[in-house]
Chain A
Amino acid sequence: MDPFADYSLDDFLENDAFVRWVKYPDAGQNRYWQQVASAHPHLVPVMDEARRRIREMAQFYPDVPESDVTDLWQRVQGQIRPQPVRRFRPLWWAAAGIALVAGWFIWDTGQPVEKVREMVASVSGSATREIRNTGTQVQIITLSDGSTVSLEPSGTLRFDTTFRERREVYLSGDAFFQVRKDPAHPFFVYANGLVTKVLGTSFRVTAYERDPRVTVQVRTGKVAVYPSEAAGPHPESAGLLLTPNQQASFLREELQLSRGLIQDPRILVPKENLKRFVFDDAPLSEIFDALEKAYGVRIVYDEEVFARCRITTSLTDEVLFEKLNVLCKVIGATYQVVDAQIVVSGSGCTE
């Protein structure tokens, strides 16, 4: 008798052997299910659908921030009673090791003891790798997912041995991130109370221990930032969504998060496309449109006031503000950056 003749999608989803094969395939099972498929060609699309669903359902679980793991470890540590020495000798050895590491941190960094304790706790709580740039050059770190981190001197990067599964890193200092795209596994940077969440993009995080401010500057892609104090199932709603050439500043004491433009906004379109941005006696609105597209910014101005301004120019790979300085000089205007927007004001042009 052939058990598979009348199999439906639900039957495959409920078949333990099938589920096990989809999640943990091996050669023997491959052979078995291939035989089933070739004996029942009509089942092939059903099996494909069942495999797709099982894979997706296997990824169905709530986000667990790494900070929850370290916080909980500290809470557990605070509550457990010391045990007789003899029975727990291995732990005592571990403790001695930790004390040694702690000593090294104090000696090496001169950091306040509290910070040291925080680091030690997480070192002992989970298998953490820590990379500290003690040199004078930028150190490039390639993570196991293919993302790279350019760590500036004196910066520290920490991540867990489970990094492959949860893309989470802890930064102290200044680093530029180029994150490999993987929509199913967002990449998180935790830095001095600010969380940066991305899918795949490049950006810089600056978070020095002694600096009251944390900044995140975005080069490409989209980035969500939010205070790590933010709670609930969607902490991002307490934060900002940043697009290229934008930056967020976070004041750690005040828990204040604000949006702005980075200091040197760069052209976002590919260089070869710049040839199209050549203007001959063109209206100002056309040029501003092009700038908005090229730099991903928003320019606010009174179209009527500047209706008669015509300009001959071209776009090159220069910093936005240099370009604006020149343009504004020509039309006798000034500009201000307000909340990541550029506001141009002036009295317009005569013929």
Chain B
Amino acid sequence: MNDSTGSFPGNNRSRMADDKQIWDAYQQKGAFAELYNFYVRDLLRYGYRISSDRQLVQDHLQDLFVHLWNHRDRLGHVQEPRFYLYKSLRNRILRSIESNRLIPTVDGVLSEEWFPDGVDAEPTWVETEHRHRELTRLQAALERLPVRQQEVIQLRYYHDFSTEEIARIMKVNEQSARNLLFRAVRQLRGQLPSAILLLLFSQPV
């Protein structure tokens, strides 16, 4: 099996080639376990970012993979498998949440209040202990961003999607995706000083 499962293969282009190879093997030979193993970690990483309810994310990812198993012959049209999988997972998760709390804003862009902010920001004692070593100031600041901004940063800088792809995944127009990313980057800068203060105060005595 492939050693570059998930995140950091040699370069961007070879990852796209891997995507295609894995998908073709699944389409033509039913290489389902390989497909699962290749994508599951990145999909969980993405799912856990957009919802703090990990059980819910796992439920929907399970459904997605079962769907892939059952409908292999109907998915021949998929051109960009990675994109398709992220979008499907996101749709499934949000559809189930939307029925509970959907807060549209004036400009039609969905609000950042979909998810409670800062669920992950509460440091436990071990986290505090590790934090000043393990997390840089920037990482700490990232965790304090609204969840949708965290999502856009992760999609852009970890999962390597372009703003155009991010827009399609998040179902907004490209300008909105771009704005969201700008806002996140700018807000990060604004948050850094306070993040430094936080670190100073959370260091063990």
Contacts and interface: CB of A to CB of B under 8 A. Distances in A.
A215 B44 CA distance: 30
Interface stretch (B5-13, B85-93, B109-117): B5-13
30 contacts: A20-B12, A23-B12, A53-B138, A57-B157, A57-B158, A58-B158, A59-B158, A60-B153, A60-B158, A61-B45, A62-B45, A68-B44, A69-B41, A72-B40, A72-B44, A73-B36, A75-B62, A76-B66, A80-B69, A80-B70, A88-B30, A125-B37, A127-B2, A162-B6, A164-B3, A183-B134, A186-B130, A199-B130, A234-B122, A237-B125
Contacts of A165: 5-8
A186 B139 contact: no
B82 to A, nearest CB: 15
Given A61-B45, A72-B58, 18 more contacts: A57-B156, A60-B139, A61-B158, A64-B45, A69-B40, A69-B41, A71-B58, A73-B33, A76-B62, A79-B62, A90-B30, A91-B32, A94-B33, A127-B37, A162-B6, A165-B6, A236-B124, A237-B125
Contact of B1 (A54, A81, A127, A239): A127
B48 A64 contact: yes
Interface of A: 9-10, 13-14, 16, 19-20, 23-24, 26, 53-54, 56-64, 68-69, 71-73, 75-76, 79-81, 87-88, 90-91, 94, 124-127, 161-162, 164-166, 183-184, 186, 197, 199, 222, 224, 231, 233-234, 236-237, 239, 241
A224 B189 CA distance: 33
A241 B125 contact: yes
Contacts of B61: 72
Interface residues of B, number: 62
B138 A56 contact: yes
Contacts of B182: 10, 14
B54 interface: yes
A60 B137 CA distance: 12
A79 B125 CA distance: 39
Given A162-B5, A199-B134, A81 B70 contact: yes
